[in-house]
Every structure is written in C-alpha cells, then in structure tokens.
Amino acid sequence: MVNAVLGHWIELAGYTASSLVFLTFYMKTMVPLRVVGILSNVAFMTYGLGGHIYPVFILHAILLPLNCMRLVQIRALIKNVREAAAHGDLSMEWLLPYLRHRRFSKDEVLFRKGDPAGELYVVLSGSLLLVDIGVTVGPGAVLGEIGIFAPKHDRMDTAICKTDVELGVATHDKVLELYYQNQKFGFYLTKLISQRLLDNYSSLRDRTLNTHPIATTAADGGAVEQEERS
C-alpha cells in the first residue's frame, strides 16, 4: 500500500515536471522563465530520485543552481536599471557582465554611416571619433543604441578609433532581450537615446554657429529688422 502511494506521488512529480517544462515555452520574460525552470528542476529531481532514474536526477541537480544563479543575476540587473532610471544616471557600466570584450586598433573603423546596426558598444578604454558630428567619445560612452532601434536598423554616423580601443559589445538580440525583460529598462534606453539626440543636436548647432557666425548674425539681424518694420 505504501509503495503504491509513493509510486503515485513519484509519477505525479514526473507529470508536474513535464508540465512545467511545457509551460516554459509560454514565458515571454526571463524572470518567470527562470522561476518555472527552478520549479521544474525540483520536480524532476524528485521524480528521478524517487524513480531511481539517476541520470535525470543528476542533470537537474546541476541545472538547479545554474537557474538560481541566473535568476539572481537578472533580478540584480533589474534593480540596477530601476535605480539608474530613478536617479537619472545614464551610465551603462552595470551592463558590463552581460557584454563581450573586443579590441580595436588606432585608425580602425568601428562602423560606417549606413552600415547595419547589429551591436551596441560601451567604451571601456581609448577614444573614438564620431565623424559627422565631430565628437570624440571616451570610456563610459555608449555607441550604437540609436541604430538598433532605428526603423532601418542602420548606423547614423561613422565611428573611427582615435587610439587603441577596448569595447564591451552586446548583440542586437541581447539588447532586445534586456529591453523586453523589464519596462524600466525600456525607459532607461529611451532616456539614453533622447539624451544622445539632444547632445548631437547641440553639437551640430554649436559647430554651425562657430563656422558661420557672420551669416548667422546677419540672419538674426534681418529677422529683427523685419520684426521692427512689421
């Protein structure tokens, strides 16, 4: 009798584990996916141990701490995003654990205007020149976020390495994954892109004023004179 009841519960654990695995395919964000993954690991471990199916038990005993570690990492990421958004901090240094490191040599072209935008970059060391707007960026700067979300997904400028450069790189899919995980991250990226566009506009305006001061002054004077006549 006891063995029959125990066998029933072990079989139920197996069905529960299978149902949880099926449920993971409906998860749209990483936190629920990891939580369901952890529950399925526990259920499979119970099923494997109770049914003496040791390969199943060993596999999910290994996957359980991995899922727990990833859940802790993603929750820490979300917390950092929320704090950064709340304080208006546009630094993306908290993304470094999720980036691949890549090195470029002096005078090497990182990307050209019109190229497909498949990656986002965080400058770790060195400096790059954004040719069209004439701006030099250094450590801590973020490049490529606008192109990823642009309608045509193309680069808005050309970036050339002024020195040897080390970059943190996130692929297009990784950025979108982080974007869809949490609305706060979307808000964070919106602030970052808006600030970048405003900075670029200010830089171009200043360059125009410095390059054509006489024409600008004449245009302003003509506008004032026309206003006085009216």
Angle (CA) 142-148-152 rounded to 5° is: 140
The dihedral formed by the CA atoms of 38, 98, 199 and 105, expressed in degrees to the nearest 10: -170
Euclidean distance between CA atoms 225 and 229, whole angstroms: 6
Euclidean distance between CA atoms 46 and 15, whole angstroms: 11
pLDDT at 38: 93
List residues bridging with 103 in a β-sheet: 166
Tokens of 140: 């801590």
Residue 88 in this model has a pLDDT that exceeds 60 = no
Q: What is the mean pLDDT of residues 129-157?
A: 84
Q: What is the 3-class SS of 139-160, one letter each residue?
A: CCCEECHHHHHCCCCECCCCEE
Euclidean distance between CA atoms 140 and 6, whole angstroms: 58
Greater pLDDT, 12 or 149:
12
Q: What is each CA distance from 188 to 43, 64, 83, in whole angstroms?
A: 37, 31, 10
Angle (CA) 12-37-43 rounded to 5° is: 25
* pLDDT tens digits for range 12-71: 888 898 888 888 887 767 788 889 999 999 999 998 888 888 999 999 999 999 999 988
Could you tell me the pTM of the whole model? 0.50
